[in-house]
Amino acid sequence: MIAHYHLDAVKQIGGAPQKTRSDDGSENSLIEAMHTYLCFTNSGNDNPSDSSFAIGRSTANQRIEAYWSHLVKDGPGWWIHFFKDLRDLNLFNDSDPLHIECIRFCFMQILRKELHQVAELWNEHIISPSKFGNNSGPRGKPDCMFFLPHLYGTENYQINIALDELEEFDDAVMCPADVTDEFNEFATCLMDEFGWQAPSNVKDALDLYINLTKTIQELV
């Protein structure tokens, strides 16, 4: 899953950074192999000992760890408690394939929209210099720093990679579909038959989820 998002980002920008750093989590092992291979075959560097992937302790990433803690508290944390409440109220059974399909069908687009908003806010906020050491480090908006590096006295260190070269990794990092095609077609037919609208907020999604699960359980 994580490798899928990494590959998707490389596809979007048409290349990979010269160096990437992560913690020693098992989910990053595939990213390390994929990133090292792509950089080695596209950088023109014939020295295989020049590693493009560094592994360090997650506790050393104080800035991003602090941001993640804040994000979980104000964003995903709310959703975690929301779905737990549904489970405690016996409205959601996380071992029931029907409930899982309905949850994904009803809530995924709202979740994805919220995550896109989080990404936009991050890319438009101003990064402050580090409070440690000599107060060094980058300062500016991530979007501006990425697309206009010359304004910050630097350059784009991206290694360009052809899209067709990335396609060979699609099977290895395949991301599960939000909803199966069969269920998506079935649920959409039920929405048309009963006049249910696509949800635009959490309340609408919850109403649709309850209606879908109740109706399908009655049919079977």
Residue 19 has pLDDT above 90, yes or no: no
Residue with more model confidence, 53 or 103? 103
Residue 133 has pLDDT above 60, yes or no: no
How many residues are recorded in the chain? 220
* Average pLDDT of the segment spanning 85-97: 94
pLDDT score for 46: 57
pLDDT score for 84: 94
Q: How confident is the model at residue 22 (pLDDT cuts 50, 70, 90)?
A: confident
Distance between CA atoms of residues 190 and 183, nearest Å: 10
pTM for this predicted structure: 0.74
Residue 73 has pLDDT above 80, yes or no: no
Task: Locate 134 and state its tokens.
Answer: 């000599």
Q: Which residues share a beta bridge with 127?
A: 140
Q: Residue 21: what are its φ and ψ, rounded to 5°?
A: -125, 140
Residue 12 has pLDDT above 70, yes or no: yes
Distance between CA atoms of residues 107 and 205, nearest Å: 6
Q: Residue 137: what are its φ and ψ, rounded to 5°?
A: 110, 165
Quick one: 144 exposed, middle or buried, by C-beta within 10 A (0-12, 13-18, 19+)? middle
pLDDT (tens digit per residue) in 55-69: 877 666 666 667 777
Q: DSSP states of 69-130 as a string? A: HHHHHHTHHHHHHHHHHHHHTTS--TT-HHHHHHHHHHHHHHHHHHHHHHHHHHHHSPBPPP
Quote the crossing angle between the two packed helices 2-13 and 29-42, to the nearest 10°: 30
pLDDT (tens digit per residue) in 148-201: 999 888 888 899 988 888 888 887 777 766 788 899 999 999 999 999 999 999
Distance between CA atoms of residues 115 and 12, nearest Å: 17
pLDDT score for 200: 93
pLDDT score for 60: 64
Task: Locate 27 and state its tokens.
Answer: 């989910």
Mean pLDDT of the chain: 85
Residue with more model confidence, 86 or 137? 86
Residue among 22, 13, 86 nearest 51 (CA): 22
Contact 30, 204 (CB under 8 A): no
